[in-house]
Structure 1
Amino acid sequence: MGFSLFPRSVKFYDLFKEQHRKLIKAAVILDELFTDFTDVEERCKRINIIESEGNAISRRIAKELSMTFITPIDREDIHEINLTQEDILNLIKAIASRIGLFGFDRIRYPARRIVNNLRAMIEELGHVLTKMSENKRSEESFHKIENLKHECETLLMVGIGELYDGGDETADYAAILDIVKWKHIFDRIEAAVDRAESLSDVLEGVVLKNA
């Protein structure tokens, strides 16, 4: 008989899935923003609303954990899954907020590709959560997430390299400021990708411990 990570009597699975729905919704809007650089203010507002809703779910998970004596998986794993999904959502908000604030006239191609990969990683994490609840194997999703992370690392190096490529001491203030702004954006995108990989590691660890 297969193991059950999330028994029906416990709400953690439903709450994780609800939390993830907010996460993927925000990731989709961010991807659309980076792909079609229009309606920036409206899309940023929508992400802010989703982030607030996600934080409320995170608090519910923390409260449920504090009131539950026996948990379906290790308490530290429940806490880490909750915290990491919240972190990714907060970073998506941070990326969108800076895009809205910095007044860019275009989105750099490497950043667009990385954000698209981030969305794909988050989608695969959703598949993992579903498979965990159904006692199914998730190796394929973990492999996809790892490959997407490696591609993001390459794209990040390309993106950072392009920022400084051809720069010289005569660059005007606006050009230098643009470099600084984009460095902030790339830093947040990299952090979001790293946290998505961390969530994959946590989920994979849970599967291995309960196999």
Structure 2
Amino acid sequence: MVLARFLPRDERFFDYFRQAAENASAVAQALCELLENYRDIEEKARRVRDLERKGDEITHQIFKALYSTFVTPLDREDITDLASKLDDFVDSIEEATRRIRLYHIDQPTEFARHLASIIDQQATLVAKIVPLLENRRHWDKLLQCSIDINRLEGEADDVLDQALASQFDDVHDIDALIKATRWGEIYQQLEDAADCAEDIADTLERIVVKNA
């Protein structure tokens, strides 16, 4: 393994990570567009699904490159972890969108819109800081932005608590109970996406600390 230190490293992983982060941001924006302009649901849900599949392809390229590359710019487990966390974030958003479509939600709630806005802010920061991983001079900025992502996850927790606390306030019949229960699932899925964004930030922090 001493020889590996003198071999050129394959830097394409950073480009793949940038693509994955930008795609994640596009997915979050599509979620916001769906909930803020609640029409053409099937078309907008299809866009989210298409972006999710694009993310899967990027993840596949990362693992394929990892299999065929002898010297990597980061430890292999760190590359795997970051790729998986980015994929999980996109998957969580796609699942929330899928449930909104399948449950034939009539109109989104303000809680859902608020959660989507938080996720979009997190995704914007993810797309901003993932490319910073390539250059040590930008690691301080990366760490600062990761703190902001974690703060936003805390906001998402608060919104989820408020949503669940009032979830059954206007439930007076079976139909209303079913609707409230479905919204509870959607709220939780949206908050899971915010958790996944936090996982991305934590993974980036861990990589930076490990390689500092």
Q: What's the TM-score once normalised by structure 1's chain length?
A: 0.90
Quote how far apart the aligned CAs of 1:188 are: 1.0
Question: How far, CA to CA, are the matches of 1:161 and 1:54 in structure 2?
Answer: 34
Aligned length: 202
Which SS does the other structure have where 1:164 is aligned?
coil
Quote how far apart the aligned CAs of 1:151 are: 0.8
Q: Which of the residues 145, 153, 165 maps onto 2:169?
A: 165
Question: Is 2:61 aligned against 1:60?
Answer: yes
CA contact (8 A) 2:31 2:116 kept: yes
Question: Is 2:159 aligned against 1:143?
Answer: no
Question: How far, CA to CA, are the matches of 2:54 and 2:10 in structure 1?
Answer: 24
Indicate the residue corresponding to 2:3 in structure 1.
none
CA contact (8 A) 2:10 2:73 kept: no
Question: How far, CA to CA, are the matches of 1:166 and 1:50 in structure 2?
Answer: 36
Question: How far, CA to CA, are the matches of 1:92 and 1:17 in structure 2?
Answer: 19
Which SS does the other structure have where 2:15 is aligned?
helix
The amino acid that maps onto 2:206 is G
User: Taking every aligned residue pair, what percent have the same amino acid on both sides?
Assistant: 28
Indicate the residue corresponding to 1:175 in structure 2.
176
Residues 179-198 of structure 1 correspond to what in structure 2 (within 5 A)?
A: 179-198=180-199
Indicate the residue corresponding to 2:158 in structure 1.
154
Indicate the residue corresponding to 1:3 in structure 2.
none
Q: What is the RMSD of the two structures over their aligned residues, measured on CA atoms?
A: 1.5
Question: How far, CA to CA, are the matches of 1:9 and 1:83 in structure 2?
Answer: 19
Quote how far apart the aligned CAs of 1:166 are: 5.2
- Measured against aligned partners, the alpha-carbon deviations of 1:160-197 in whole angstroms (never above 9, x if no partner) come to 11112354xxx211101001111110121121111110
Question: How far, CA to CA, are the matches of 1:204 and 1:54 in structure 2?
Answer: 22
The amino acid that maps onto 1:94 is E
Indicate the residue corresponding to 2:108 in structure 1.
107
Indicate the residue corresponding to 1:203 in structure 2.
204
The amino acid that maps onto 1:125 is V
Quote how far apart the aligned CAs of 1:205 are: 0.7
Deviates more, 1:70-79 or 1:123-132: 123-132
- Measured against aligned partners, the alpha-carbon deviations of 1:25-55 in whole angstroms (never above 9, x if no partner) come to 1110101111221221110011111111111
Residues 5-44 of structure 1 correspond to what in structure 2 (within 5 A)?
A: 9-44=10-45
Which sections of structure 1, spanning at least 5 residues, go unmatched? 1-6
The amino acid that maps onto 1:179 is A
Which SS does the other structure have where 2:167 is aligned?
helix
Judging changes above 3 Å, is the alpha-carbon distance between structure 1 residues 119 and 8 closer, same or farther for their aligned structure 2 residues?
farther
The amino acid that maps onto 1:120 is Q
Question: How far, CA to CA, are the matches of 2:77 and 2:156 in structure 1?
Answer: 28
- Measured against aligned partners, the alpha-carbon deviations of 1:91-150 in whole angstroms (never above 9, x if no partner) come to 111111111111112111112111110111111112111222232022321221121111
Q: What's the TM-score once normalised by structure 2's chain length?
A: 0.90
Question: How far, CA to CA, are the matches of 1:126 and 1:78 in structure 2?
Answer: 16
Question: How far, CA to CA, are the matches of 1:28 and 1:174 in structure 2?
Answer: 31
